[in-house]
Structure 1
Amino acid sequence: MDGSLSGQAVAGQGGTSAAGPLAAYRARVAAGTLREDPAQEDAARRLQELWQRTRGYVAHRAPAPAAGGGLIGRLFGRRPAAAATTQAPTGLYLVGEVGRGKSMLMDLFFETAEVERKRRIHFHQFMQDCHRSIHQWKQANPGADDPIPPLADTIVETASLLCFDEFQVHDITDAMILGRLFAALFERGVVVVATSNTAPDDLFKGRPGRDAFLPFIALIKARTELLVLDSRQDYRRDRVRGLPTWHQPDDARAERALDAAFRELTGRDHGEPVKLLVLGREVVIPQAVGEVGRAGFDELCGSFLGPADFLAIAARFHTLILDGVPRLGPENFDRARRFVTLIDALYEHRCKLVASAAATPDTLYERGENAHMFQRTASRLMEMQSQDYLALPHITQDA
């Protein structure tokens, strides 16, 4: 395996605070950057307990391969997992409705965790990385039949602690490998913390083949404690609803506004590239943090992307920040057509759009024989700025 699991990773001892996530949470409340919330404080207290149990923890690695295996042997060879010398700490499965602060709390835990190797990654991206690594392993090991142990070995080499954001299972190909993969990770002592909108017992519910998925649910329930975040306030929706979403003209002021929107929604100035696997190929979003993505108009509408790509983007992100929508017309009709398809996908998934543009939606495409085609898109763009639309829940499943 190439070990190229994306996401935020930290090697080497040391979190950012010896006081842990509870003190970090209380400090943000005292500073006014977070609103006091009893449910969030209770969750921070449970995370604090896990923080204490994991201080200095290192998951056991598999033993080295037999001599003579070479680099490929060391990376891809089948290796039995080492016997655990100590019981791994039980992780946490943090479940609650959208916008309740689950990701924020897990991030506080991740940032302060004093674990030698730790990784924080969106679960959807983790699974895509796993499928890619399995494909590479099969190419490097023709005739071999079990990529799961070497994949688990690769993961444990970079993460004793795995923090998953937005844990959800919709894809049958994910469901097919999750049980064995997580059993192998837990055998190696990996500690899992996850946020989800779905309780473990409801994962993959109503899907064909779910009976074969039940052992994985039992495994998650055995190796993580369920923590329900029962906050009444939807902070995510409040943040989006408070933001202006259409900025024109597309100038330096608009760029600063989009920078500020990204910072407000993610808590970071810049994101990391995310690769979405769509029909066997990769679609790259240049910047992403959690469920917020950012890309330029030309990167999405100037590329050879189609409906499946835009639907995958709309399902993956609850908010898309789009830079530089130009005036549209017959001279750039291919890009205009892709933009129409993109907006349709975002609208179907109730994905929120924050954009900079050369003009208002109703004046973006004013001339040419296809201008009438754009009227529905302009109407949708206007509706997507409304408070009623911004209050709608994001639809994460494929349309």
Structure 2
Amino acid sequence: MHLRDGLQTHVTVRQRYDHLVELGSIRRDPAQLVIVAALDRLIDEISDKRLARKSSALGWLFAKRKPQREPVKGLYVHGGVGRGKTMLMDMFFELVPVKHKRRVHFNDFMADVHDRIQKQRAARKNGTSRDDDPIPPVAAALAEEAWVLCFDEFSVTDIADAMILSRLFSALFALGVVLVATSNVAPRDLYRDGLNRQLFLPFIGMLEQNTAVLNLDADTDYRLEKLDRVPVYISPLGEAADKAMDKAWAKVTHGAAAEPATVAVKGRKVAVPAAIAGCARFSFADLCEKPLAARDYLAITAHYKTIFVDHVPVLAEANRNEAKRFILLVDTLYDQHIRLVISAAATPDKLYVAKRGHEAFEFDRTSSRLIEMQGAEWLDGWAEKHPEPAVSA
């Protein structure tokens, strides 16, 4: 341990973990300690590789002659929801001694990749680039910006993502990028039941070859242990739920009159039915029955820090598209730490009743996050991050 500016800092993930145990913030978990040890080994390997570079921070990545060392193998941690995967990865990201690193939700990363590919194709068309294939220059730019890449909740649901992942990560791994990812599924279960999945299978092999795959097999969902219900999830639907939502809306907006608004997204406009002072209100149909994607939800979070969603129905296999959007919506709100006030036909664990398909697999995480987002700890963290704005009537 070190002292910096009079404060205790930690060199290893294990030191940080033990300190949180001593404070009573977490409970020591043998399954988590296996991941802690793997993350510390990875930090040591990355540190050794960093010290071995010849010149610039990325010199060893782009050296033309064959490197003397084996590439650093990353880490892929999978397990059930609420087991502490994200907490451990965040400790790693903070402590790994690398300047060029990036921690990002997978959906946001892929939205960025598609934007870059589109710009690269436009550059080829207008003659400012000679690259016929947009993937190599995009991968090179990504690797130069961050050679340690951390993905939270790695999950592939979009065929456009699935079709480019093999080529993109083949280039990234060749450039020495080290991947650390968390997921609630093993690599072999990624994009399960997806369209043209056979074309995705090479990526799974590549992922297993370039990362150590570990299962965080803890028995406790720590999110449920911290649950302290507050009235932000209202169920079942009906007149009483509508009145409760209206009452909550009036409270957070201080009774100010809301008006329709729009959010610009890549030349399009997403309609916001009611908005005032950092608060926006939608129906489930507004957000999940229209052709919106992760980038639309991310753009909404840039403008509004409290989101109301009315009338979320119970979803079945016939509602797979709506369920996929709802999963993306909750992931985005969770990752951006947005306060969510919601009325729904059932409790989070009973919102999706289909037993087959990728969405059924993914919805476990969604229900867990909906539970956590009701907790006092989540809402206290939101309040610290987003001080209440002054609202004029």
TM, length-normalised to structure 1:
0.61
Between the two proteins, what is the percent identity of the paired residues? 35
In structure 2, what is the Cα distance between the partners aligned to 1:347 and 1:43? 30
Match of 2:289 in 1: 307
Q: How does 1:193-232 map to 2 (within 5 A)?
A: 193-232=180-219
Contact 1:57 1:116 in 2 (8 A): no
**More off after superposition, 200-209 vs 236-245:** 236-245
**Inter-CA distance 230–117: structure 2 relative to 1 (3 Å threshold):** same
Q: How does 1:1-399 map to 2 (within 5 A)?
A: 17=9, 19-55=11-47, 57-58=49-50, 59=58, 60-62=60-62, 83-142=66-125, 144-240=131-227, 242-245=229-232, 247=248, 250-251=251-252, 296-298=278-280, 307-308=289-290, 323=306, 340=310, 349=326, 355=340, 381=343, 393-395=364-366
Measured after TM superposition, the shift of residue 205 of structure 1 is 2.2
In structure 1, what is the Cα distance between the partners aligned to 2:49 and 2:271? 34
Contact 2:153 2:183 in 1 (8 A): yes
Q: Deviations over 1:197-247 (max 9, x none)?
A: 111111122223222211111111011001110011112344456444265
For these two proteins, the number of residue pairs brought into alignment is 292
Structure 1 spans left out of the alignment, 5+ residues? 1-15, 64-80, 255-274, 286-294, 326-338, 357-379
TM, length-normalised to structure 2:
0.62
In structure 1, what is the Cα distance between the partners aligned to 2:68 and 2:182? 28
> Given residue 154 of structure 2, which amino acid in structure 1 is its aligned partner?
F
**Inter-CA distance 277–196: structure 2 relative to 1 (3 Å threshold):** farther
CA RMSD of aligned residues (A): 4.3
In structure 2, what is the Cα distance between the partners aligned to 1:283 and 1:219? 37
**Inter-CA distance 324–277: structure 2 relative to 1 (3 Å threshold):** closer
> Given residue 381 of structure 1, which amino acid in structure 2 is its aligned partner?
S
Structure 2 spans left out of the alignment, 5+ residues? 1-7, 51-57, 234-247, 256-262, 315-321, 353-362, 368-393
**Inter-CA distance 283–164: structure 2 relative to 1 (3 Å threshold):** farther
Q: Deviations over 1:242-285 (max 9, x none)?
A: 4442657525999xxxxxxxxxxxxxxxxxxxx9989x958699
In structure 1, what is the Cα distance between the partners aligned to 2:41 and 2:269? 39
In structure 2, what is the Cα distance between the partners aligned to 1:249 and 1:187? 54
Measured after TM superposition, the shift of residue 298 of structure 1 is 3.1
3-state SS, counterpart of residue 251 of structure 2: coil
**More off after superposition, 49-58 vs 157-166:** 49-58
Contact 2:312 2:345 in 1 (8 A): no
3-state SS, counterpart of residue 26 of structure 2: coil
Contact 2:100 2:145 in 1 (8 A): yes
Contact 2:313 2:351 in 1 (8 A): no
